[in-house]
């Protein structure tokens, strides 16, 4: 992946920029006013960092960028160039260089990092709300968007490129934020985008099959997630998860565990009382008890709330502040979000796009469905194809009617993606429709929903786009549902 040019407010001497980066090479103490790893964005006086990516190796462009005016290049191997700086790991160096370039803004903030297959976004929002309810100023970095206090900024990646990340930290520090809560993806951890960061608390939610198109094996995926805790001063870990139990024994920082089942955890959720629009439960731990009434359904939501609450307590809040913050937290966009439809059936959109995500959301909703649970879903393109059949199996286990459609097919053939999911319906009597176009599929679902039905639109959640081929179209399911229902009402007149 190419990164943009990163420009600081002032230039920096090269020796100062290289602080905490072990290197070899005789370098002049040049003025550096820009930092980039993108060979297409070279300007005079910039420092170019050679990074070997999946599609392009920056080392192959090092000689050319010097001709174009780069002050020097940072590289992992001897390229025989006059102004080369040799480091052992360019990715790690790039993160530290970006931190140095912007005045190490993360050191002025208390960072909270959340990692796991599911629950990262929900946990970041919950922690932010708990801290803000206690009067703290908080920044947020994540999948839906980034927030600096009340200011909302678009997010391109779950965890940004190092340059973008440290610019965000700088702006958050300037805005008076004391805390930053952020999602830390396995890709970002593996690619060392968080080099130069230190986390006050690292949180582990769970680990289930996802991203094997990148990591190949679950062990690699686990090891990538584990890297967060090498950068953390304290860990909060879900020991209801098999990988969480393993992680709690393997990390070197102090560990605080939580559970919604096991009394052996440091903090446990007790007396869980679910309903269609909320959960009531009690937090027990560290000789403390607190009661929560929380506006998100499902046991998995209680687990997310526990992760957030325990993290907040490690940051110094008391259990009553945590319970008050959780109880006052509004819903989160695209997470078991009930859409306003003015119909005699219910429409919910949710980001569940993995087998485990569907296994958590659908049984949480099932007890409150008065008639049929209708599930519309598709499988993401250019992502781990082996999970498609398991997504279909999960849906078939709980749904009373299934609509199989497209998610973000990207450059894959949507029909072939669907064909890889269909065997997951083998041996089930659940009726299903195959409608590859997602808009048409939603249209069909809304037209055939009956009184008391719950129609779940799974996979897209908060996303307001759909990736088709090389392009992206606007696709916000709130708008799509509203438009289709309006057209159907007009047609009936």
Which CATH number goes with the domain that contains 288? 3.40.1190.10
CA pair distance 383, 323, nearest whole angstrom: 38
CA pair distance 139, 299, nearest whole angstrom: 27
CA nearest neighbour of 299 among 238, 236, 218, 345: 238
CATH code, domain carrying 480: 3.90.190.20
Query: Residue 367: what pLDDT?
Result: 85
Query: Residue 313: what pLDDT?
Result: 98
* Residues 171, 32 within the same domain: no
> Nearest 5°: phi and psi at 237?
-130, 135
Asked if the structure places residue 215 within a domain, the reply is yes
Query: Residue 211: what pLDDT?
Result: 66
Query: Residue 55: what pLDDT?
Result: 85
* Residues 389, 246 within the same domain: no
- Structural domain range at position 224: 105-327
Query: Residue 27: what pLDDT?
Result: 74
Tokens (6 digits) for 8: 């600081």
Do the Cβ atoms of 139 and 155 come closer than 8 Å?
no
Asked if the structure places residue 270 within a domain, the reply is yes
CA nearest neighbour of 428 among 405, 401, 404, 446: 401
* Residues 357, 488 within the same domain: yes
Asked if the structure places residue 142 within a domain, the reply is yes
Asked if the structure places residue 332 within a domain, the reply is no
Do the Cβ atoms of 139 and 106 come closer than 8 Å?
no
Model pTM?
0.83
Query: Residue 8: what pLDDT?
Result: 52
CA pair distance 286, 268, nearest whole angstrom: 10
Q: Which residues of the chain have pLDDT under 50?
A: 1-5
Kindly report, residue by residue over 26-56, the tens digit of the pLDDT: 777 889 999 999 999 999 999 999 999 888 9
Asked if the structure places residue 1 within a domain, the reply is no
């Amino acid at each position: 992946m190419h990164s943009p040019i990163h420009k600081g407010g002032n230039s920096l001497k090269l020796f100062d920029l290289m602080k905490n980066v072990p290197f070899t090479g005789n370098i002049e103490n040049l003025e550096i006013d820009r930092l980039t790893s993108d060979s297409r964005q070279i300007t005079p006086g910039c420092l170019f960092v050679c990074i070997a990516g999946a599609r392009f190796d920056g080392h192959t462009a090092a000689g050319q960028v010097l001709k174009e005016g780069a002050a020097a290049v940072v590289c992992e191997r001897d390229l025989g160039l006059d102004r080369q700086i040799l480091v052992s790991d360019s990715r790690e160096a790039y993160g530290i260089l970006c931190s140095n370039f912007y005045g190490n803004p993360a050191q002025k903030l208390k960072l909270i990092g959340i990692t796991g297959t599911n629950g990262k976004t929900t946990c970041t929002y919950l922690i932010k709300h708990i801290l803000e309810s206690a009067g703290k100023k908080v920044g947020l970095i994540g999948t839906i968007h980034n927030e600096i206090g009340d200011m909302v900024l678009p997010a391109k990646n779950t965890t940004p490129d190092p340059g973008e990340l440290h610019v965000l930290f700088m702006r958050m520090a300037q805005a008076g934020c004391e805390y930053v809560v952020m999602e830390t993806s396995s890709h970002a951890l593996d690619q060392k985008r968080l080099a130069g960061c230190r986390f006050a608390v690292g949180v582990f939610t769970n680990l289930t099959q996802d991203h094997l198109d990148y990591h190949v094996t679950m062990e690699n995926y686990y090891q990538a997630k584990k890297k967060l805790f090498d950068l953390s001063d304290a860990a909060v870990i879900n020991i209801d998860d098999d990988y969480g139990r393993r992680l709690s024994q393997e990390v070197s920082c102090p560990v605080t565990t939580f559970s919604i089942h096991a009394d052996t955890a440091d903090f446990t959720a007790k007396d869980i009382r679910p309903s269609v629009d909320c959960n009531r439960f009690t937090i027990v731990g560290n000789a403390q008890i607190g009661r929560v009434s929380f506006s998100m359904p499902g046991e998995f939501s209680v687990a997310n709330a526990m992760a957030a609450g325990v993290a907040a307590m490690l940051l110094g809040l008391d259990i009553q502040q945590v319970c008050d913050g959780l109880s006052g937290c509004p819903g989160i966009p695209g997470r078991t979000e009930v859409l306003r439809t003015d119909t005699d059936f219910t429409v919910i959109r949710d980001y569940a796009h993995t087998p485990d995500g569907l296994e958590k959301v659908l049984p949480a909703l099932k007890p409150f469905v008065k008639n049929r649970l209708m599930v519309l879903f598709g499988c993401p393109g250019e992502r781990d194809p082996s999970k498609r059949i398991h997504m279909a199996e999960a849906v078939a286990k709980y749904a009373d009617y299934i609509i199989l459609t497209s998610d973000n097919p990207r450059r894959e053939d949507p029909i072939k993606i669907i064909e890889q999911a269909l065997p997951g319906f083998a041996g089930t009597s659940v009726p299903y429709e195959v409608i590859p176009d997602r808009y048409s599929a939603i249209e069909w679902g809304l037209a055939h929903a009956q009184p008391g039905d719950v129609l779940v639109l799974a996979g897209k959640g908060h996303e307001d786009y759909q990736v088709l081929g090389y392009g992206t179209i606007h696709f916000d399911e709130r708008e799509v549902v509203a438009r289709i229902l309006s057209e159907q009402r007009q047609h009936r007149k």
